[in-house]
Copies of this chain bind each other. A is one copy, B any other.
Amino acid sequence: MVNAVENGSITSPRGFAADAVAAAIKYEGRLDLGLIVSEQPALVAGMFTRNAVRSAPVMLSSRRVARGQARAVIVNSGCANACTGERGLRDAEEMTALVAARLGATPEEVLVASTGVIGTFVPLDRVARAIATMRPDRTKGHEFAQAIMTTDTTRKEIALAGKVNNTSFTIGAAAKGSGMIHPNMGTMLSFITTDAAIEPSFLSQALSRCVDRTLNMVTVDGDTSPSDTVLLLANGLAGNPVLDQSNGAEFEAALSQVCTYLARAIAADGEGATRLLQVTVTGARSMDDARCAARTIASSALVKAAINGADPNWGRVVCAAGRSGAVMDPDTVSMTLCGTPVMSRGMLVAFDDQALRASLQLDTVEVNVDLALGTGCATAWGCDLSHDYVTINASYTT
């Protein structure tokens, strides 16, 4: 039994604190530097971008995550610190050293993530002055979620509380979107904390399984970022019997629920999005085929533009599946749009055009495609392609 924590955030689990300040990294007077601290060293698992171009923070943090323990994560928006060479790496290291000095930790215990414009340097002097003013506490989880936003229009955070063997545990999380979103084995920036005590290899495996079904199934524009990072910190303060593969099912279910929430929130707030697109593919020859078809449909420019116009142009959905690489036979495909059948085993189904157009104007548009070839199934989340997406991205660096 898992329950949402009212007003939950990244600091809802025991022993986590946060802070956020305005460091003028790209804009004045806007929270752009966030810090998460665990009062005692936490186990850590992480997943990172598979783009061949990796930001300096991704290079540094992925090395440090391999150690398995962390005390803090420093995160900035406004600058991705990517394509910045040796100097970028030194800047990322310096950010962690400054935080470590302030906390009485070693730099190796501090992780770093950055998001924003690619190819510019972090203004290290301003960041250093800002870090010197940070005073993390339990009340500032929301400010952290605010500080990591770039073109996001809403904070993305959640906390869930569950129980194992009469011991309650809590999971908190914060994430940011909202452009260059097409994660490949990592994800956009997502930070998850928990006070549950968890065996390290189970921690990594549970995170990997959950992210692959959730955050890795989000797409806004097909562009994988060099900054994608998800970190899960577990400090064990709940005092539960240590969870592993044998007794961790409930924790993993809760973690999956948290990741699904973040995935939907990121897709719904994709750059310029007016509605959430949820694509479920069933009956695929394999799970990989289902994932591939669902994500290709959700990222098709033509499907996304049609959803923007509430246009029941289902032919584009079938064609996107057809080019996805998934095995498919057009004669066996069935499809519903917002619950309305439009195609049945390869044949057109007559539908009420006006009624369907009305359904397509809902906040969430559900597309279900049954390939009828096997048992593979997967869900992907995306959003529509709007004029605002073009406006936002035609002038991002200015």
Contacts and interface: CB of A to CB of B under 8 A. Distances in A.
Contacts of A331: 85
A184 B179 CA distance: 27
Interface string A365-398: 0000000000000000000011101111111111
A interface: dominant SS: loop
Interface residues of A, number: 65
A343 interface: yes
Given A118-B319, A387-B390, A397 B312 contact: yes
Given A53-B318, A118-B319, A319-B118, A306 B221 contact: no
A394 B390 CA distance: 14
A119 interface: yes
Given A53-B330, A301-B221, A346-B85, A385 B390 contact: yes
A223 interface: yes
Interface stretch (A170-178, A235-243, A320-328): A320-328
Given A119-B314, A315-B83, A390 B386 contact: yes
A200 to B, nearest CB: 30
Contacts of A52: 321-323, 326-330
Interface string A338-354: 00000100111000000
A69 interface: no
A273 B183 CA distance: 28
B390 A319 contact: no
A51 B300 CA distance: 14
Nearest to A309: B394
A387 B82 CA distance: 29
Contact of A226 (B83, B322, B327): B322
A48 to B, nearest CB: 13
7 smallest CB-CB distances across A and B, nearest first, come from: A118-B315, A309-B394, A305-B393, A53-B322, A224-B323, A52-B322, A221-B301
Interface of A: 50-54, 80, 82-85, 117-119, 179-180, 182, 184, 221-226, 300-302, 305-306, 308-309, 311-316, 318-323, 326-331, 343, 346-348, 385-387, 389-398
Given A51-B322, A118-B319, A386-B390, 13 more contacts: A52-B326, A53-B318, A53-B330, A84-B348, A119-B314, A119-B318, A119-B348, A223-B323, A226-B319, A226-B322, A301-B393, A311-B398, A387-B391
